[in-house]
Amino acid sequence: MLPEIGQFLMVLAFCLAAIQSILPLLGAQRGQLSWMRMAPNLAWAQFAALAFAYGLLTYAFIYHDFSVAYAASNSSINLPIEYRISAVWGGHEGSLLLWILILGGWGVAVASFSNNLPVAMSSRVLAVMGMVSVGFIGFMVFTSNPFDRLMMVPLDGNDLNPMLQDPGMIFHPPLLYMGYVGFAVAFAFAMAALIGGRLDASWARWSRPWTTVAWVFLTLGIALGSWWAYAELGWGGWWFWDPVENASFMPWLLATALIHSLAVTEKRGAFRSWTVMLAILTFALTIVGAFLVRSGVITSVHAFATDPTRGVYILVFLAVVIGASLILYAWRAPKVGMGGGFSSWSRETVLLANNVLLVVACSAVFIGTMYPLIIDALGMGKMSVGPPYFNSVFVPLMVPLLIMMIIGPLVSWKNATFKGSFERLYPVLAVGLLAAVVWPLTMGEWGLIPAVMIFIATGIVGTFIVDLLPRIKAPDFAGRIAKMKKLNTSWLGMHVAHVGMAITIIGMAMAASYQTEKDVRVAPGDVVELAGYSFTFKGVQEVRGANYSSLYGTVEIRENGELVTILNPEKRTYDKHQGMPMTQASIDRSVFRDLYVSLGDPVGTTGAWIVRVYYKPFMTWLWTGVIIMSVGGILAISDRRYRVKIKRRLTGRKEEPQAVVD
């Protein structure tokens, strides 16, 4: 009975979303306040229906209702509770339901925090959100019902795919989806502004915090996925240019461009139509991502088993979204106007270059990802585009972009001079050069790539410092602290995010340039020497887990005879997936290096194994930098100006809903 209620709720949510996409929009066009006022309630009702449905599906997983086909194929009696809850998003149908639930959640968030918007604007935003919901809920209702029943109820389920039985599974998909789906909000704001014909600085100010929040989630989601692949897959890599990684990375690149372009639109009123275009494209790329993952066109750890109607549905949805938004754009954008002018050397120019480079980089990734798929679809042969392509295109495009991060924050808006921009930079460049010469030498061997990256990273940090110092200039310590507290958080957020990027760059460059690895065959008692550490292989024993048995290795690591740590790489075989052993790498992390051991295959009869050992310098910096980037994003949106109107409202000045003028 419960699953049927779940199914009913899905249909209900679909209908509510349909009403939400029409009524408030008509209300906004005709000035019907009562219709517009329906929008937040509809958003809440839709979210409640989805949350209830989601709860019912989770219930089926927790209490082993294997009559639900989706639960039967993704859970089992012995699956630990945390994985039963996260197994709900372990397959196509459930992860789509999570996606839709999060979309509904964003709708509710917009409904709750849009009190400072003119009611016509917020109604249009919610109407567009409703349309997006219609598209995705329809996808679920028509092609992928998670509540389908089985005629023959199995005694036990098929268990969650062993790959997904990892703590990463609990956090990676929800965070990533929060990011992905969040760009629907940026898209909805852009569409609402186009419909209303009001594409100005205040639109940028409204849409900016939403875009930044979505960006923060996407950043964390991608990084967590990378962190998971690093720990779980036993390949020791953290980025593979796999089509599905690219599917999340392309919107990230465009969203990063969008954040910067929104800054120009808000501060200077320029780039308006370009910003709208970016919002549309970013959202379109999130749908492309859904297509790549859910249509079965690619082989990947992420690909769900699929049937072709799903791919067709998403393609049609994508065509409708792009078609409709571009028509609206073509109709409305020419009336928008150019906004404030700027000279050829100004903050605007630097940000324009930032946008061009990010868009070009995104296009390069897009071509590399889609070309083999298109050639295959046309029956013109099979080929693949591997990491060498992406590295040789992406890195040269990123270097100028990163160099601009050193200069950018010091260039004034509208009209700057080279002298004014670079004056304060000389000490920074000097320190950067020094670091570029010396730091790589401490790693054993000087190399060009790490040197360039270190120069850039120190430059970015240095720029923050020279930009900060004049702002906190005061005669005494207390004065400096007082000034520090008054710093503009939006400005601070930008610098913190840039510093995070700098730290990540160092992590990437060092790990890529100075890692050492060995694949060796070891018998119990054998010692492997790597980067000054000696790894002693103590052998492998059998250990039993909740729903798997494990070959549990023990490796002792010593440095100059001192015990550093004991690592336990595993090879797990899950009861329900006997044919699918899982490698579980074991990693000792510290500030300056990771030591990484994973088990290959057993060889011979003497208990010998093939073991892979890595020494990876500065890996921790990579992840830490990403967290700092996200903190920067959060700082940026905590800026007072985004809350000004709400405060005014709370102090008693009631705002009249603005009349709708088109």
Is-contact 553 570, C-beta < 8 A?
Answer: yes
Q: Does 307 bind other proteins (CB under 8 A)?
A: no
For residues 388 and 561, which CB has a smaller minimum distance to other proteins in the complex? 388
Binding part of the chain for other proteins, among 93-101, 261-269, 516-524, 588-596 by CB under 8 A, reads: 516-524
For residues 393 and 465, which CB has a smaller minimum distance to other proteins in the complex? 393
For residues 319 and 367, which CB has a smaller minimum distance to other proteins in the complex? 367
Question: Rounded distance, CA 502 to CA 486, Å?
Answer: 25
Cβ at position 363, least distance to other proteins in Å: 7
Q: Which of 284, 288, 305, 287 is nearest to 296 (CA)?
A: 305
Cβ at position 343, least distance to other proteins in Å: 7
Cβ at position 661, least distance to other proteins in Å: 30
Count CB-CB contacts under 10 A for residue 78: 15
Binding part of the chain for other proteins, among 85-93, 104-112, 360-368, 614-622 by CB under 8 A, reads: 360-368
Residue of the chain from 347, 495, 612, 616 that contacts other proteins (CB under 8 A): 612
Residue of the chain from 423, 519, 529, 559 that contacts other proteins (CB under 8 A): 519
Is-contact 513 598, C-beta < 8 A?
Answer: no
Cβ at position 269, least distance to other proteins in Å: 15
Question: Rounded distance, CA 66 to CA 64, Å?
Answer: 6
Position 88, amino acid: V
Task: State the alpha helices, DSSP H only, in 197-242.
Answer: 201-232
Residue of the chain from 81, 155, 305, 378 that contacts other proteins (CB under 8 A): 305
Burial of 423 (0-12, 13-18, 19+ CB in 10 A): exposed
For residues 163 and 213, which CB has a smaller minimum distance to other proteins in the complex? 163
Cβ at position 56, least distance to other proteins in Å: 28
Question: Rounded distance, CA 78 to CA 575, Å?
Answer: 9
Is-contact 527 622, C-beta < 8 A?
Answer: no
Cβ at position 388, least distance to other proteins in Å: 4
Q: Which of 170, 196, 155, 190 is nearest to 66 (CA)?
A: 155
Provide the token pair at 60. Answer: 């089926």
Question: Cα separations (Å) of 253 from 218, 279, 287, 366?
Answer: 11, 12, 15, 11
Is-contact 262 207, C-beta < 8 A?
Answer: yes
Residues 66-125 that bind other proteins (CB under 8 A): none
Is-contact 50 13, C-beta < 8 A?
Answer: yes
Provide the token pair at 564. Answer: 């550093």
Residues 193-222 that bind other proteins (CB under 8 A): none
What mask of x and - would describe binding to other proteins in positions 225 to 264, judged by CB under 8 A? Answer: ---------x------------------------------
Is-contact 421 506, C-beta < 8 A?
Answer: no
SS3 per residue for 126-184: HHHHHHHHHHHHHHHHHHCCCCCECCCCCCCCCCCCHHHCCHHHHHHHHHHHHHHHHHH
Q: Which of 342, 362, 361 is nearest to 351 (CA)?
A: 342
Provide the token pair at 610. Answer: 């093939």
Q: Does 371 bind other proteins (CB under 8 A)?
A: yes
Q: Which of 122, 256, 243 is nearest to 179 (CA)?
A: 256
Residue of the chain from 188, 191, 292, 364 that contacts other proteins (CB under 8 A): 364
Residue of the chain from 28, 175, 214, 357 that contacts other proteins (CB under 8 A): 357
What mask of x and - would describe binding to other proteins in positions 153 to 192, judged by CB under 8 A? Answer: --------x-x-----------------------------
Binding part of the chain for other proteins, among 13-21, 185-193, 513-521, 654-662 by CB under 8 A, reads: 513-521
For residues 344 and 442, which CB has a smaller minimum distance to other proteins in the complex? 344
Binding part of the chain for other proteins, among 271-279, 361-369, 486-494, 623-631 by CB under 8 A, reads: 361-369
What mask of x and - would describe binding to other proteins in positions 264 to 303, judged by CB under 8 A? Answer: -----------------------------------x-x--
For residues 242 and 266, which CB has a smaller minimum distance to other proteins in the complex? 242
Residues 374-393 that bind other proteins (CB under 8 A): 381-386, 388-389, 392-393
Using DSSP's 3-state secondary structure scheme, residue 396 falls into helix
For residues 347 and 577, which CB has a smaller minimum distance to other proteins in the complex? 577
Binding part of the chain for other proteins, among 4-12, 147-155, 346-354, 430-438 by CB under 8 A, reads: 346-354
Burial of 579 (0-12, 13-18, 19+ CB in 10 A): exposed
Using DSSP's 3-state secondary structure scheme, residue 577 falls into strand
For the four alpha carbons of 456, 461, 464 and 466, in that order, the dihedral sign comes to negative
Residues 581-600 that bind other proteins (CB under 8 A): 581-583, 598, 600
Residue of the chain from 48, 429, 433, 520 that contacts other proteins (CB under 8 A): 520
Q: Does 516 bind other proteins (CB under 8 A)?
A: no
Would you give the end-to-end CA distance of the chain in angstroms?
A: 49
Is-contact 54 268, C-beta < 8 A?
Answer: no
Give the H or E element holding residue 544.
strand 533-544
Cα–Cα–Cα angle for 54, 58, 59, nearest 5°? 115
Residue of the chain from 41, 343, 417, 516 that contacts other proteins (CB under 8 A): 343
Residues 397-416 that bind other proteins (CB under 8 A): 397
For residues 415 and 488, which CB has a smaller minimum distance to other proteins in the complex? 415
Q: Does 610 bind other proteins (CB under 8 A)?
A: yes
Question: Rounded distance, CA 558 to CA 540, Å?
Answer: 19
Q: How many residues bind to other proteins according to rule CB under 8 A?
A: 48
Question: Cα separations (Å) of 648 from 266, 366, 609, 638, 652?
Answer: 21, 45, 69, 17, 7
For the four alpha carbons of 349, 350, 351 and 352, in that order, the dihedral sign comes to positive
For residues 381 and 475, which CB has a smaller minimum distance to other proteins in the complex? 381
Cβ at position 392, least distance to other proteins in Å: 4
Cβ at position 285, least distance to other proteins in Å: 18
For residues 92 and 571, which CB has a smaller minimum distance to other proteins in the complex? 571
Q: Does 11 bind other proteins (CB under 8 A)?
A: no
Residue of the chain from 4, 423, 601, 655 that contacts other proteins (CB under 8 A): 601
Q: What are phi and psi of 319, to 5 degrees?
A: -60, -40
Using DSSP's 3-state secondary structure scheme, residue 516 falls into strand
Using DSSP's 3-state secondary structure scheme, residue 239 falls into coil
Cβ at position 536, least distance to other proteins in Å: 19
For residues 58 and 515, which CB has a smaller minimum distance to other proteins in the complex? 515
Binding stretches for other proteins (CB under 8 A): 161, 163, 234, 299, 301, 305, 341, 343-344, 349, 352-353, 356-357, 360, 363-364, 367-368, 371, 381-386, 388-389, 392-393, 396-397, 519-521, 571, 577, 579-583, 598, 600-601, 603, 610, 612
